[in-house]
Structure 1
Amino acid sequence: MSYMLMKDAMCVVIICVFSAVQEVRLVCVDVASNTEATVGGVMNLTCIYCMKQEEISAETKVDWFYTGSLFCCILLYLKMKDAEMYWKGRLTWIGSKDLQDISISIVNVSANDFGTYECEVSRFFEFDSFKHSTTKKITIELKVKMQGKMLVTKLFWFLFTSIISMQWKSVGTRTVWLPTLFKINNFLCSKKVSHTNLIEFLFTI
């Protein structure tokens, strides 16, 4: 385990080295990862690198990198177990035994988990005394949104208490603000709202 402190960024390095012959699945489908997570939920970061016939007996090395907006620390370990510090208890391996699927999962997603995740897979194999290697990199730009209920609670009550605390001088003021307040509440309750959706909506009222 080693740690490196940097400023204004967080970089996580997850390194796994696997060797020996793996049991290869007959079917491998390369699919893209989801890029939007919800606070408090589970986010699967999908990384798939299908093997060719000549790569069945290859040694596989997997590196996961993360760059975010928090203070920086680098976590380095050799097995897919719980990470230390910021990621402790939240990072799990969900890949396959044959290492064609080398995905990881973030449990209890935090608002600060947004950023760039990169999966780098390298395979080293020998065929008729000929040594060869292949590498594939997959980049995931993760966005994190709040749950609709959380936005309702925070925004609705902020607006409600702000309006109540205002010194209304006429009935006309109440007539304008109260319908607007309930309009916002109905919008937030109708669906899961991202920050972008919310900003666009506020400009329409």
Structure 2
Amino acid sequence: KTLNLLSFFVVPHALGACAEVDSMTEAVAGQNFLLGCISCKRREEVSAWTTVDWHFRALGEQEYRHIFHYEHPTADILHEDFSGRLEWHGTMHTDIQIGAIYLSNVTFNDTGTYLCTFHRTLHLPVRNEEVTVEKEVELTVVAVANRELTAVISEIMMFVLIVVLQLWLIMVLVYCYKKISADHERREAKKALRAQEEALLESKDNCDGVQLE
């Protein structure tokens, strides 16, 4: 979701670049929300004149309400429920490919289906071609933002990694302790063996001295 949100801001400034990413679908009551809508042209070299309309169907209703219309450079809010709360965040040009709008002060009444419609006139050499593209955004308004699954998985993986590293460190410490202990035992064994050899040699010398007398 974060990637999608960033794409809406990055793509409009990228020359000749367009990516049809999906809009986010969960808003938090009392905060602002970007309703994303992108329709890329298949042939960038063809110029076009485009207008964008947004409709809204509240949860449990059957009919759409026409809430917003953009025809460069004019943006019109068409429904009183959204008065002063919608702002154009799409392409600032007649050849529109990004039709995003910014919804401020989200309420639970904003839950529902948003329909974004591109009306595009392609200026072709022989004759103009009319193209209509529709995209839906199912918006859910919640009191508190839900933690994303990726964030939860990341935290779990981090915890697992920490546990594994701790176990590995303990194993390394145990291995080093055993190796040091074994080396110490070998040194002590060599010392004891050397002491025994010296004692035997000393005993032999004493015995040789007695025989000589």
Q: Which TM-score applies when normalising by structure 1?
A: 0.54
Q: Is the 8 A contact 1:70 1:112 kept in 2?
A: no
Say what the alpha-carbon RMSD is for the aligned residues. Answer: 3.0
SS of the residue corresponding to residue 123 of structure 2 reads strand
**Cα displacement (A) at 1:26:** 1.5
Secondary structure of 2:138's counterpart equals strand
3-state secondary structure, aligned to 2:81: helix
What residue number does 1:117 align with? 114
**Is residue 57 from structure 1 mapped to residue 52 from structure 2 by the alignment?**
no
Percent of pairs identical after alignment?
Answer: 30
Question: What does 1:1-205 correspond to in 2, within 5 Å?
Answer: 25-53=15-43, 56-69=46-59, 74-75=66-67, 79-82=74-77, 85-98=80-93, 99-147=96-144
Q: How many angstroms does 1:88 deviate by?
A: 1.4
**Offset of residue 125 of structure 1:** 2.1
Structure 1 residues not aligned, in runs of 5+ = 1-22, 149-190, 193-205
SS at match of 1:137: strand
Cα pair distance change 1:45/1:128, threshold 3 Å: same
> Helix, strand or coil: the match of 2:109?
helix
Between 1 and 2, higher relative CO (CA 8 Å, sep ≥ 6) is seen in: 1
Task: Call closer, same or farther: CA 1:84–1:59 in 2, change over 3 Å.
Answer: same
Q: Retained in 1: the 8 A contact 2:52–2:117?
A: yes
User: In the aligned structure 2, how far is the partner of 1:65 from the partner of 1:90?
Assistant: 14
TM-score (normalizing by structure 2): 0.52
Name the structure with the higher helix share: 2
Corresponding letter in the other structure for 1:122: H
Which blocks of at least 5 consecutive residues in structure 2 are unaligned?
1-12, 148-213
8 Å Cα contact 1:114-1:142 kept in structure 2:
yes
